[in-house]
Amino acid sequence: MKKAVKVKALNFSTSWSYAPAPEAADHFQLKERYDLFINGKFSAPATGKYFDTINPATEKKIASVAEAGAADVDKAVRAARQAYEKTWSKMPAAERGKYLYRIARILQERARELAVMESMDGGKPIRESRDIDVPLAAAHFFYYAGWADKLDYAFPGRRAQPLGVAGQIIPWNFPLLMAAWKIAPALACGNTVVLKPAESTPLTALRLAEILQEAELPPGVVNILTGAGATGAALVNHPGVDKIAFTGSTEVGKMIQKALAATDKKYTLELGGKAANIIFEDAAIDQAVEGIINGIFFNQGHVCCAGSRLFVQEGVAKEVLRKLKDRISTLIVGDPLDKNTDVGAINSKEQLGKIKALVNAGIREGGECWQPACSLPSRGYWFRPTVFTQVAQSHRIVQEEIFGPVLTVQSFRTPEEAVEKANNTPYGLSGGIWTDKGSKIFKISGKIRAGVLWANTYNKFDPTSPFGGYKESGMGREGGLHGLLPYVKLS
């Protein structure tokens, strides 16, 4: 008994440290320069311009990447149109499915290098890219491969036809996974694709292009254009595109919605979030604390569904806060390629600046800011896991999406109060409920206005399950059977 108390009093992070366990990065070759992937081939951009992608953990350049301009977008959209008309929409659905299975299997074969590349380019811990991003990317291709020849069963009594060319714009928080998440259902339904990865994390999408070549996917079925916002805007505005799928900031999402308002293009928008995690007094507290940590510090909080607001019922508030801080003090922040790392690098200098600005606003507004005493590497973009208490509903830190490892903690007395506080946000993407009572889960989850709710767990993803938001978190659903709908016309 005495011994247990002593262990509890220790600060684990200072009581021992792990020996470095870096994942090897010498089992694959990165190119110095990457071109655009159009019509099955890599070609130089008409702009002649290239930009650098860096490793946010070291601030070192990894490679030069082509910047696509309007002429390149036009070339890619034409290639996608031709492939749609001549090949892909004509192919028997079971044959389309075979290509998707093949892509899924090659993703699995190349899992190790894809994981390392993802962590180098974006800063996320290798444990995540290895165990979550890459396996889930393959799982999305496997799952939608299965649907390709079963669309009649997905929409019984109706005929599902493809839309044509899909323009897809993805963010930097789950680069390969977002590419798979968007490409797989589009192809399964018979559409062709022009995909634009985010400018800070283009490498795994470009590696995916090589995998598509290896899978002998017909030229033009998927085209991958690198570039920043202007490239994305050119894709959105191209008249040859039939559908836009966007994941990113609410700000850009609104701009896209405006641009498309006067057109007949279909679109889905998956935008920001400010998810609430609610812990009731009857919850398994240790399990809840672990889930809260996973919910907000996973991928440095670079997650649209991150559980960034915690509401704890008053009777357990002190205990939860103490346990949270104890656990956070054990998190290892540092080298994304180290297998022991829990919290990696912030994706970019801009994102780090945004996190710092919001945290400073939180302090100015009177919030109490707590951080563990962990050391940070001297180069690269880093932010300590942060907990805010003494915050009010009106504070910016409680209202605005931070997209960083920052958690606000507030207490509540009654379930009604928890629901009201949880819903007091312009967003509605996700949320979490922690309680021992199944009836409470059903009662509360029906009242939370969010697209995805987890009970006694958090951040669990599966290709069979739909994902998407209410209010400013966007429109449409991706994943599962629902994820086919944005890529078909039904007659």
What φ, ψ does residue 75 adopt, rounded to 5°? -60, -40
Distance from CA of residue 425 to its chain's centroid?
A: 20
CA dist., res. 344 & res. 50, Å (int): 27
The residue range among 35-43, 114-122, 175-183, 239-247 that interacts with Mg ion, by the rule CB under 5 A, is 114-122
Catalytic-residue membership of 305: no
Distance CA 130, CA 126 (A): 6
Q: What are the residues whose beta carbons fall under 8 Å from the beta carbon of 302, sequence distance 6 or more?
A: 124, 172, 173, 346, 347, 351, 403, 404
Q: Which does 53 bind (CB under 5 to 8 A by kind): Mg ion, ligand NAI, none?
A: Mg ion
Marked catalytic residue, from 67, 270, 400, 478 = 270
Rule CB under 6 A: which residues touch ligand NAI?
A: 169-173, 196, 198-199, 228-229, 232-233, 236, 247-249, 252, 255-256, 270-272, 304, 351, 354, 401, 403
Q: Specify the stretch interacting with Mg ion by CB under 5 A; choose among 121-129, 327-335, 397-405, 434-442.
A: 121-129
Residues 162, 163, 167, 172: is their CA dihedral positive or negative?
negative
Q: How does 287-316 read in b/e, with b if 16+ C-beta sit within 10 Å?
A: ebbbbbbbbbbbbbbbbbbbbbbbbbbeeb
Phi-psi group of 190: left, alpha or beta (phi > 0 → left; psi -120 to 50 → alpha; rest → beta): left
Distance between CA atoms of residues 319 and 54, nearest Å: 42
Binding partner at 224 among ligand NAI, Mg ion, none, C-beta below 5 to 8 Å by kind: none
Asked whether position 121 contacts Mg ion by CB under 5 A, the answer is: yes
270 interacts with, out of Mg ion, ligand NAI, none, CB within 5 to 8 A per kind: ligand NAI
Partner touching 121 among ligand NAI, Mg ion, none, CB below 5 to 8 Å by kind: Mg ion
Q: Which of 35, 37, 53, 301 binds Mg ion (CB under 5 A)?
A: 53
State the nearest-atom distance from the C-beta of 70 to ligand NAI, in Å.
13
CB closer to Mg ion out of 121 and 342: 121
Show the CA angle centred on residue 437, arms to residues 436 and 439, nearest 5°.
160
Minimum Å gap between C-beta 129 and ligand NAI is: 16
Q: Report the residue closest to ligand NAI, judged by CB.
A: 232
Tell me 129's DSSP state.
Answer: I
- What is the length of the chain? 491
Q: Choose the catalytic residue: 189, 304, 305, 374.
A: 304
Q: Which is nearer to ligand NAI, 172 or 381 (CB)?
A: 172
Kindly tell me which of 54 and 233 has the beta carbon lying closer to Mg ion: 54
Residue 454 CA to its chain's centroid (Å): 17
Nearer Cβ to ligand NAI (195/444): 195
Task: Examine the residue annotation and report whether 304 is marked as an active-site residue of this protein.
Answer: yes
User: Which tokens belong to 274?
Assistant: 């400010």
Q: Order of strands across the sheet with 36-38?
A: 41-43, 36-38, 222-224, 192-196, 165-169, 243-247, 266-270, 474-475
Instruction: Identify which of residues 173 and 410 has a Cβ nearer to ligand NAI in the complex.
Output: 173
Using the contact rule CB under 5 A, the part of the chain among 124-132, 196-204, 324-332, 393-401 near Mg ion is 196-204
The token pair at 424 is: 């007091």
* Closest CB to ligand NAI among residues 183, 419: 183
| Residue 348 found at the interface with Mg ion (CB under 5 A) | no
Minimal distance, residue 172 CB to Mg ion, in Å: 8
The one among 119, 173, 200, 313 contacting Mg ion by CB under 5 A:
200
329 binds, among ligand NAI, Mg ion, none (CB under 5 to 8 A by kind): none
Report how far apart, in Å, the C-alpha atoms of 324 and of each of 236, 327, 331 are: 43, 5, 11
Stretch that binds Mg ion, among 16-24, 179-187, 195-203, 435-443 (CB under 5 A): 195-203
Residues labelled catalytic: 270, 304
